[in-house]
Amino acid sequence: MKRRGERIDGFLVLDKPVGPTSTQALGRARRALGAAKAGHCGTLDPLASGVLVLAFGEATKLVDHVMDGAKRYAFEVAWGEERSTDDLEGEVVARSDIRPDHAAILAALPAFLGEIEQVPPPYSAIKQDGVPAYRRARAGEDFVLPARRVRVDALELVGIVSPDRARFEVACGKGTYVRSLGRDLARRLGTRGHLVALRRLEVGPFDLSRGISLETLEAPGYKPGAHLLPVETALDDIPALAVTGAEADAIRHGRAVQLPRAALQLSALPPGRVVAVLEAGALVALARIEDGQARPLRVFNRNT
Active site (catalytic) residues: 45
- Report d(CA 284, CA 202) in Å as an integer: 26
Centre a 10 Å sphere on the Cβ of residue 57 and count the other Cβ atoms it contains. 23
Which residue, 297, 302, 177, 175, is CA-closest to 231?
302
Beta-strand ranges (E) seen in 173-270 are 193-203, 206-207, 240-242, 257-258
Which residue, 277, 242, 209, is CA-closest to 13?
209
* Cβ-based burial of 279 (10 A; exposed 0-12, middle 13-18, buried ≥19): buried
With a CB cutoff of 8 Å and minimum separation 6, the contacts of 172 are 70, 71, 72, 73, 150, 151, 152, 153, 178, 181
Which residue, 235, 188, 186, 236, is CA-closest to 80?
186
With a CB cutoff of 8 Å and minimum separation 6, the contacts of 302 are 9, 58, 231, 282, 283
- Report d(CA 45, CA 65) in Å as an integer: 21
